[in-house]
Amino acid sequence: MKNGLIVNSGGDKEWYLNGKLHREDGPAIEYVDGDKEWWLNGQRHREDGPAIELYFYDIDKRWWLNGKEYTQEEHWELTHPYEFIEKHNRLNCIDEE
């Protein structure tokens, strides 16, 4: 069973816990080309930013929580519920004026 850091022959780094991709203090996969993926317990997951950052021609970011992909706005709503409610209330106040 894989545990800890594994560097493949191409130089990509992968962190495992109990055979599943897992890292709590950074991306669980760091590719040589700069791409990064965040995983917890074998599921793509990141609360403080995109769970996938791809750097091919332009930066492509993808937002995941507990193995489910979201839009950036949906991700923000789920990870910042109080700020979302405040923003929603401010917009409603503006609409009522």
**Where exactly are the structural domains of the chain?**
4-70
Helix (H/G/I), strand (E/B), else coil: 13: strand
What is the per-residue pLDDT for 51? Answer: 97
Higher pLDDT, residue 7 or 60? 7
What is the token pair recorded at 33? 């080309």
What is the per-residue pLDDT for 96? Answer: 52
What is the per-residue pLDDT for 56? Answer: 79
What is the token pair recorded at 27? 């991306």
Helix (H/G/I), strand (E/B), else coil: 55: strand
With tokens 């929603």, the residue in question is 88
**Angle subtended at Cα 44 by Cα 27 and Cα 69, rounded to the nearest 5 degrees:** 130
| Angle separating helix axes 81-96 and 72-79, nearest 10 degrees | 110
Q: Give the pTM.
A: 0.79
Render pLDDT for 40-92 as a digit per residue (tens, 0 to 9).
999 999 999 999 999 877 789 999 999 999 999 999 889 987 765 666 566 55
What is the token pair recorded at 93? 């106040």
